[in-house]
Structure formats: C-alpha cells, structure tokens
C-alpha cells in the first residue's frame, strides 16, 4: 500500500504497512443438513395416528439441534424400503467442494417397521448401525456405532416408528474428491409374516392427527471451513509472516 501526499494527492513512496487477509471466526460454524431420500425405493403407505412412535434421548436429554422442520396436520406417511422381508442397508454420499472440519455429526433419522401380514411370532425395530467412511486411495473408517431403539415388540399387523436422534461429537476432516459415505443398516427381529423396514423421509414426533411439527430424516454436519480453502484466493505462496 503506497503513501499518498495529503496536499497533492500524489504517491511518494511505497508504504511499509503490510495487509494480510484474516478469517472471520464468526463465520466458521455452519450446519449442513443432508436430506435422506431414495429414488427407486419401494414405497409403503403408513398412517401416523395409528403408528407407535418412540424417540431416542441422547444422553438422557433431547438434542436441540437445528433440525429442518415444517408444520402440518397430515396423517399419511411414506415408508421407503428395499422390498418385503428385506433388511434395510443403504449408503449415502457427501462430496465436499473444499477442505473442512466436521466437528459434530447429528443424526435425525425416522426408521420404521411395518407388519403387513402376520402368521406367528413377534417383530421389533431393534437397532440401527451407522458407519461413516472416507473414500480416497483407500477406505478409512471414521466412525461406527449401533444405536438401540426403544420400540416395543409387535405381535400384530401395524407400524412402529423410532426417531434416532443422536449427536456424534468426533471431529474429522473432509476434502474434495474424497467423498464421505454414510452407511445405514437396520437390525430388526422378525417373526413369520410379511414386513417392510426402512426410512420415513419426513415424520412427526407426535402422532395425533392435529397441527404438529414434522422433521426430515437427515444427517447434519456442523462444518468449519479449513483455512487452506482460501489459499487459491489469497495466494498459496504468500508469506504468512511479513519481515519488515
């Protein structure tokens, strides 16, 4: 930045003041909701008011994350599954366009088990296994855990829905061209009959057919942009410390 003579408005000599770009820490954290749906999955209609709905309490409390939601009095829902009597196992992919650090991964997943025909035995929604991996030259496992539902046993036709709401506070980095893959597996116990198990993309937390809050099945990344993503803007080879 050059000096300017106040009276004449002319540049006289180069200034020794150095300007270095800095990141605004107030803009760091950003919640990125990844909405889960499956094109081509088999659809099963369900009715919320006759569904047994339960919810996970993460560490004995209800997380107050920024969950995408809408309000309505709709009573019809849609269960997406992979076929009758077929275990649900699906993998979703996130491709980051810049380096970032994921400090918290929040799960908000509505899993459901529908019994359309029963011969004998009992069913239970059981548990859900979540595995997060990074794909690159090799596949690296970042996180894996199994979460147990609080759904009751089913001994008749009907639907059980469980909201898996959990916070995973385990930081990891993401990079372009190294996609993050989230694998979701449902582990149900099954009797004799016909069942459908899978995800409900949007569902309420209460089942009464009145105005209520609906939330989306999603995975939320609390991301902080890595400072290196600005190198192409501010010149990668610039001096980080100026010597005067």
What's residue 231's pLDDT? 56
What's residue 37's pLDDT? 80
Q: Based on the structure, what is the number of domains in the chain?
A: 1
Residue 173 falls within a domain, yes or no? yes
Residue 113 falls within a domain, yes or no? yes
Residue 2 falls within a domain, yes or no? no
Angle at 96 between CA 91 and CA 101, to 5 degrees: 100
Q: Name the residue range of residue 142's domain.
A: 30-234
Residue 219 falls within a domain, yes or no? yes
What's residue 204's pLDDT? 93
Q: What is the DSSP letter of 59?
A: G
Residue 47 falls within a domain, yes or no? yes
pLDDT tens profile 50-98: 999 999 877 656 666 667 788 899 999 999 999 999 999 999 999 988 8
- CATH number, residue 47: 2.60.120
Residue 224 falls within a domain, yes or no? yes
What's residue 180's pLDDT? 93
**Among 205, 212, 219, which residue's Cα sits nearest to residue 55?**
205
Residue 242 falls within a domain, yes or no? no
Whether the Cβ atoms of residue 159 and residue 110 lie closer than 8 Å to each other: no
Angle at 210 between CA 62 and CA 66, to 5 degrees: 30
pLDDT below 50 — which residues of the chain?
1, 236, 242-244
What's residue 32's pLDDT? 85
Residue 244 falls within a domain, yes or no? no
Q: Residue 163 and residue 58: Cα distance in Å, rounded?
A: 11
């Amino acid at each position: 930045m050059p000096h300017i003579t106040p009276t004449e408005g002319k540049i006289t000599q180069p200034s020794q003041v150095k300007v270095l770009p800095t990141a605004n820490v107030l803009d760091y954290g950003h919640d990125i909701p990844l909405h889960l749906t499956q094109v081509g999955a088999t659809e099963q209609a369900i009715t919320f008011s006759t569904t047994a709905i339960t919810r996970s309490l993460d560490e004995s409390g209800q997380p107050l994350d920024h969950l995408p939601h809408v309000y309505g009095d709709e009573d019809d829902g849609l269960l997406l599954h992979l076929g009758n009597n077929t275990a649900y196992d699906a993998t979703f992919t996130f491709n980051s366009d810049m380096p970032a650090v994921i400090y918290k991964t929040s799960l908000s997943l509505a899993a459901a088990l529908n019994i359309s025909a029963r011969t004998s035995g009992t069913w239970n929604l059981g548990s859900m296994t979540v595995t997060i991996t990074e794909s690159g030259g090799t596949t690296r496992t970042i996180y894996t855990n199994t979460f147990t539902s609080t759904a009751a046993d089913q001994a008749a036709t009907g639907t059980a829905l469980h909201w898996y709401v959990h916070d995973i506070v385990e930081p990891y980095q993401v990079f372009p061209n190294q996609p993050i893959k989230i694998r979701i597996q449902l582990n149900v116990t099954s009797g004799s009959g016909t069942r459908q198990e899978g995800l409900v993309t949007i569902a309420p937390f209460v089942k009464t057919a009145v105005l209520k809050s609906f939330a989306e099945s999603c995975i939320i990344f609390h991301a902080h942009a890595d400072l290196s993503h600005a190198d192409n803007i501010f010149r990668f080879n610039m001096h980080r410390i100026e010597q005067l």
